[in-house]
Amino acid sequence: MARMTVTSDVANTGTIHNPATGTVAGQVTWTDPADIPAIAAGLREAQREWERRGPKGRARTLSRYAVWLADHRDEIETLLIAETGKSAADAAQEVPLVLMILSYYIKNIEKALAPESRPASSPLMAIKKISVYYRPRAVVGIIAPWNYPVANAMMDAIGALAAGCSVLLKPSERTPLTAEVLLRGWNEVSAPPVLALAQGAREVSEAVVDVSDYIQFTGSSATGTKVMERAARRLTPVSLELGGKDPMIVCEDADIALAANAAVWGAMFNAGQTCVSVERVYVLDAVYDQFVNAVVAAVNKLSMGAGDGNHFGALIDESQVAVTDRHVQDALAKGATALTGGKRPTGRGTFYPPTVLVDVDHSMLCMTEETFGPTLPIMKVGSVAEAVRLANDSQYGLSASVFSKDVQRAKDIAVQLDCGAVNINDVISNLMCTTAPMGGWKASGIGVRFGGFEGVRKFCRQETVVVPRTTLAAGGNYYHNSLKALARMNKLMTKVALSVPRKGAK
C-alpha cells in the first residue's frame, strides 16, 4: 500500500506517504461505514433534480467540469505523483483521457438516451407504437483501484452522471487524496450534490455495495468475486473489470522495431501497473532473436524514478514489489534468463527495474498469474496456431495485441483470441476508443466499462412503453367480448404465429 498510517490523535484520519520517497503526500479523513446510508440518501434525493435537467442540462454541467479539470491539470498531476510515485510522463496521461471521455459524452448524451422506436413483430402488433426508454438508476457505487486514481475513478463516473445517476465514489484507500480534488472541482462548478466520496477500505466498500443501485468495480478477480457475491444479496447489478494477463503475438512479417517498442511501452508504462499491460509475448521463431535484441536495446534506454525526466516510477507499495519479484525469481528458478533487471535495486522507494525474461514457458508464474509490475516475458513459438493456443491458455481475457504487416491476417488472428479487445500493430490503444465499450472475458470480468452508448446505458434501466396507434380492435381478446370475437382473435393470432419461415425446416 501507499504506506497508510492512522495518526494517534485523531482515530479516523490517515497519513498517505509517497511510495517513491516516503515523504508525506497528505491527510485523509476516513468515512465511518455507519454514515454511508445517510450519504446515499442525500445522493438519492439530489438525483431526482439531476435527472429532470435532461441530457442537455447535464451536458452543460459536465462541460463546466471539463474546463475545471483542464484548468487544474497541473495541480492534479502533482498530487498524483506525490500519492503514487508515478513518473511525470505517466501522471500526464490521466486527465487527458478523462477529458476525451467527457467530450464524447457531452456531445452524445442526448443521442445515447433518446427513446428508441421498435418495429412491430407481426402485422397483428402493427396497431401498437413501441418505444424503449432509458431511465437512470438513482445511486451508482463506483469502487475504484489505485493504479490510475483519476482515470479509473472518473471514466465510469462520467457515464453514470451523464445518464442522470448520482455517484458514490469509493477510491482506493491507497490513493484517496486525488479523489478529494476531483470532488472539490465538481462542487466549484456549482454542480448539484450528486457526487460524493466514501473513503476507506473493506468495510466502507461493503457499505457502498449495500446502499447502491448499481456497482462498478475495478480491481482483482478475487475481490471482484466478493463484490458480486455481496451485491447478489440485494440483486444489485454489477459491472466488473478485473485482472488481466494480456498477450502479444508477433508474427514473422511484423515490423520488428515497432513491435519491440510497443512491447516495452506496453509492459513498462505506469511501472506495469495497468490492467491492459503487455504481460506476455509470443514471437514466431523466425524473428525471435531480432525481436529480443530490439526489446533489450529499448529497455536499456529507460530511466526509472518518480516525477520529471523518468519513463516510469515506483510500484504502489511493498506488497506489489513482492509479487513482481516472486514472479521473476520463480521464472529464474525454473530456467528462465533475465536479460535486464531481475533483482530489486538497493535504496529507498518501491522500485523494480524493467525486467526482460526469456526461455519462459507456462510452468512459470510470470506467464500465468497477473504480475502488475515492469516485467516482459518473451516466449518463442513455432506457429501462429501455437501462439493463439498459448494466448488463450489463461483464466484471463481482457485485451491482447497482434503485430503483422498483413492487417487482414492480423484481424483473422485477433478474432481467434478470447478477450474483450485486440489492438492491431499497437498496444493499449483501445483505452482511447471512446466510441467503443471496454470489457473483459473469463476471469477478467463481466459487463463493459466506458465507451460508446453502452457506457451511459449500462447505468440505466430499460422501460418499454406501448401506445395504441388506433382504437380499432382495441380489447379484442378481453373477457367482455363475445366468444365469437375471442375465437376470431385466437384464429388470427394462431395464423400469425404459424407464419414463420419454413425454409430449411424438416
The rounded distance, in Å, linking the Cα atoms of 462 and 370 is 36
The rounded distance, in Å, linking the Cα atoms of 285 and 172 is 42
Sheet architecture: strand order including 128-136: 116-118, 128-136, 460-468
Residue 354, judged by CB atoms within 10 A of its CB (0-12, 13-18, 19+), counts as buried
Task: Give pLDDT, residue 7.
Answer: 36
List the catalytic residue out of 83, 94, 173, 241. 241
pLDDT in tens, 115-141: 999 998 777 778 889 999 999 999 999
Per-residue pLDDT of the chain (506 residues; tens, 9 = 90+): 333 333 333 469 999 999 999 999 999 999 999 999 999 999 999 999 999 999 999 999 999 999 999 999 999 999 999 999 999 999 999 999 999 999 999 999 999 999 999 998 777 778 889 999 999 999 999 999 999 999 999 999 999 999 999 999 999 999 999 999 999 999 999 999 999 999 999 999 999 999 999 999 999 999 999 999 999 999 999 999 999 999 999 999 999 999 999 999 999 999 999 999 999 999 999 999 999 999 999 999 999 999 999 999 999 999 999 999 999 999 999 999 999 999 999 888 999 999 999 999 999 999 999 999 999 999 999 999 999 999 999 999 999 999 999 999 999 999 999 999 999 999 999 999 999 999 999 999 999 998 999 999 999 999 999 999 887 767 766 777 777 777 777 777 777 666 666 555 55
Provide the sign of the torsion angle of the four alpha carbons 181, 186, 192, 196, taken in this order: negative
pLDDT in tens, 408-450: 999 999 999 999 999 999 999 999 999 999 999 999 999 999 8
C-alpha grid cell, residue 353: 527495474
Task: Give pLDDT, residue 473.
Answer: 66
Distance, CA of 116 to chain centre: 27
- Look up 94 and say whether it is catalytic: no
Task: Give pLDDT, residue 499.
Answer: 67
Q: Name residues whose C-beta falls within 8 Å of residue 326's C-beta, 6 or more positions apart in sequence.
A: 365
Task: Give pLDDT, residue 503.
Answer: 59
Q: What domains are there in the chain, each with its CATH number?
A: 13-242+452-461 (3.40.605.10), 246-433 (3.40.309.10)
Task: Give pLDDT, residue 278.
Answer: 98
The rounded distance, in Å, linking the Cα atoms of 146 and 84 is 8
- Look up 275 and say whether it is catalytic: yes
Task: Give pLDDT, residue 121.
Answer: 79
Task: Give pLDDT, residue 479.
Answer: 75
Task: Give pLDDT, residue 501.
Answer: 63
Task: Give pLDDT, residue 492.
Answer: 72
Is residue 447 within 8 Å of residue 215, measured between CB atoms? no
List the catalytic residue out of 94, 165, 173, 275. 275
3-state secondary structure of 442: strand
